Amino acid sequence: MKTIAILEDDIYIGDMLTEVLTQEGYAVLRAYSGTEASYLVSQNKPDLILLDLMLPGLSGEEVLPHIENSPVIVLSAKVDVQDKVDLLLEYHLLCPFKDMQ
């Protein structure tokens, strides 16, 4: 079974993602803060990470360097182009899932 880590502080978004992913047969790991997210990725190697940039504690940008060998999809309400350029993102999902870029 593939494992997806949801690094998201919004309970409702995280719960919705967990429900959909578990229904599709994925195992799910959750973290609600940047500090917790850094620990989670240091102890586990998920097959995919869904990362919110605006986490409490360490930001998603600060968590990214701690992630090794797992693909990351950024979920964020940040819409500024400079935010994307700074992270060199190819793809991201704009929360609350209005738009895919």
Segments making up each domain of the chain, as ranges: 3-100
User: What pLDDT sits at residue 96?
Assistant: 57
User: What pLDDT sits at residue 84?
Assistant: 54
Query: Over 19-68, what HEC string results?
Result: HHHHHCCCEEEEECCHHHHHHHHHHCCCCEEEEECCCCCCCHHHHHHHCC
Q: What is the mean pLDDT of residues 4-14?
A: 96
User: What pLDDT sits at residue 8?
Assistant: 96
Confidence class for position 98, pLDDT limits 50, 70, 90: very low
- Which three-class secondary structure state does DSSP give residue 94? strand
pTM of the model: 0.80
48-96 confidence digits (pLDDT tens): 999 998 899 999 889 988 898 899 888 877 656 565 555 555 445 555 5
Burial label, 51 (beta-carbon count in 10 A; 0-12, 13-18, 19+): buried
* Architecture in CATH of 3-100: 3-Layer(aba) Sandwich (3.40)
In percent, the amount of the chain with pLDDT more than 90 equals 57
